[in-house]
Amino acid sequence: MVQDARLDRVHRRSTVGRSALQFLREDPSRRPGDVVDRRLAPHVLVAAGVPRWPPYSVAFGTLGVDPVVGAISAAVVAGIAVFVWRWIAPHVGDMAVPVITYVVVISVMVVLAFGTFGDGGSWLIPAGATLFFISDLFVARNQFVAPGKVNHLWGRPLYYLAQVLLALSVMD
């Protein structure tokens, strides 16, 4: 009970934390380390400070990916990624390799999200991943193309909404 009270204090404001507490309470024999359920793992890793997209990509991949939906979304997302790169390339200077790497990795995350949906996953997964991608366009715009408050006004709400949708997908 003491451990449960401590977990409540740490996680009471977090949707993911509340989900983790519910998971632990469903079976009193579970320990906090058991929270790393494959659906909850990306949220736990993000809370621990791991960059967001690799854990999501791994989680989407382990949930199952429909190959047809994955291939179609890969073609669409690749086209969008090329467009994004052409837009941002003249502004990145010596950051080309990290920016290309980021565009590829976050694009893979979106493809896997749609593939997971095609395999029966929640619609919240591709919705959250797409909003995550769009929010990062505002980060890129602010960093390399046109710094300004408008990037924060659009990017931050989209980012937080994306994270909420991805967190809710665990419960869907």
- Give the pLDDT score at 124: 93
∠ Cα 24 30 32 (to 5°): 65
3-class SS of residue 171: coil
Residue 45 clears pLDDT 60, i.e. is over it:
no
The kind and range of the H/E element at 44 are helix 41-47
Check: CB of residue 89 under 8 Å from CB of residue 102: no
- What is the C-alpha separation between 141 and 143, in angstroms, rounded? 6
Residue 157 is encoded by which pair of tokens?
Answer: 């709400």
pLDDT band at 171 (very low <50, low <70, confident <90, very high): confident
Residue type, 86: R
Largest CA distance in the chain: 57
pLDDT band at 114 (very low <50, low <70, confident <90, very high): very high
Enumerate residues 6+ apart whose C-beta is below 8 A from 27: none
Which among 12, 10, 20, 25 is positioned nearest to 42, based on CA atoms? 20
Check: CB of residue 19 under 8 Å from CB of residue 171: yes
| Phi–psi pair at 92, nearest 5 degrees | -90, -15
Give the residue, 163 or 61, on which the prediction is more confident: 163
- What is the C-alpha separation between 117 and 119, in angstroms, rounded? 5
Residue 135 clears pLDDT 80, i.e. is over it:
yes
- Give the pLDDT score at 1: 44
Residue 6 clears pLDDT 80, i.e. is over it:
no
How many residues can be counted in the chain? 172
Burial class (CB in 10 A: 0-12, 13-18, 19+), 33: exposed
Check: CB of residue 114 under 8 Å from CB of residue 95: no
